[in-house]
Structure 1
Amino acid sequence: MSEIFSPEWMAGFAAEWNKEPALAGALEQIGFKSTIAYGFKGDPAPKGVMVIEGGKVVSSGAYAGEPLSWDIRCTPEHWDKWLKKPPTMMDLGVAFTTGKMKFEVGDYSAMIKDPRMAGPFIKSFAAMSRVG
């Protein structure tokens, strides 16, 4: 397996994202457009980024300074744990409230209250766990 958030890993994540109807399909229905970055807490910048248009990933790779809609950070240990067993809504809520998951950019509270986005957000972790 490629290193998490490497360009190769991000390409695999994009492929898993796009083939998941409960993720890409659900977000397509609401015209979701976003630039989402992922990385590690404490790092000066995220590692990987995906550009989503109409719910589907149209590009992915290493973060190169582009403006972000979302920047999601966790410790390497938390990412590793979630790659092995995707989190539930409760797991994510606990991680957010205890500071183990941080949104450097984006509003977790607003997103999680919108069922059109909360469900796909959970599904994104399942897609991540299938990257091999």
Structure 2
Amino acid sequence: MAKFLSEEWIQLYKDEWNKNDKLVNDLKGFTASIKYFIEGKEDEAVELIVENGVAKSAGKADNKKYDFEMWATYDNWKILAKGEMGPKAAMLTKKLKFKGSMITAMKYMGPFEESLRMMGRVPTEW
């Protein structure tokens, strides 16, 4: 078990991502740097680097520019990870905040939603 959005947690998430054949296949051609953090704790952000659908690296985020950034309150991340709210609903109600190319996000909406639902599969210490 790892503390949510810790460096240990994002490593487990990377492993979960790469075990998901459908996600990896659906994201062939998708390469991006993604930053995740709890609202108000951007200094504790973590990153996931994806190349052609495969999560290549994960760890502590730095001050570079990311292709995508996602953040929410701790409680909203928990609701999302536990599947109590879907990713689309979370974005539409601004419970999950997002920065990056909306065109790219829409193109990959299915895999994007799957990647967020997958957070619930990581053994998490809330």
Distance 2:89 2:81 in 1: 17
Provide structure 2 residue ranges, at least 5 long, that are not aligned to the other structure.
Answer: none
Quick one: which of 108, 112, 115 aligns to 1:124? 115
Contact 2:67-2:101 within 8 A present in 1 as well: no
Question: For residues 112 and 49 of structure 1, do their structure 2 counterparts lie closer, same or farther at Cα, with a shift above 3 Å needed?
Answer: closer
TM-score computed with the length of structure 1 as normaliser: 0.82
- Cα drift, residue 86 of structure 1: 6.4
- Cα drift, residue 78 of structure 1: 1.0
Residues 60-114 of structure 1: per-residue CA shift (max 9 Å, x gap): 01112232000100110011112222643xxx333223321111x3134x24532
Q: Does 1:8 align with 2:8?
A: yes
Distance 1:47 1:4 in 2: 11
Provide structure 1 residue ranges, at least 5 long, that are not aligned to the other structure.
Answer: none
Q: Which residue of 1 aligns with 2:106?
A: 113
Distance 1:44 1:84 in 2: 22
Aligned residue for 1:119, secondary structure, equals helix
Question: For residues 19 and 86 of structure 1, do their structure 2 counterparts lie closer, same or farther at Cα, with a shift above 3 Å needed?
Answer: farther
Contact 1:48-1:62 within 8 A present in 2 as well: yes
Task: State the identity %.
Answer: 28
Matching residue's letter, 1:127: M
Q: Which residue of 2 aligns with 1:54?
A: 52
Matching residue's letter, 1:113: M
CA RMSD of aligned residues (A): 1.8
Aligned residue for 1:10, secondary structure, equals helix
1:69-108 mapped onto 2 (5 Å cutoff): 69-85=67-83, 87-88=85-86, 92-103=87-98, 105-108=99-102
Bigger drift between 78-87 and 46-55 goes to: 78-87
Runs of 4+ in 1 over 6 A off after TM superposition: none
Q: Which residue of 1 aligns with 2:65?
A: 67
Residues 34-83 of structure 1: per-residue CA shift (max 9 Å, x gap): 00011122334461101011110110011122320001001100111122
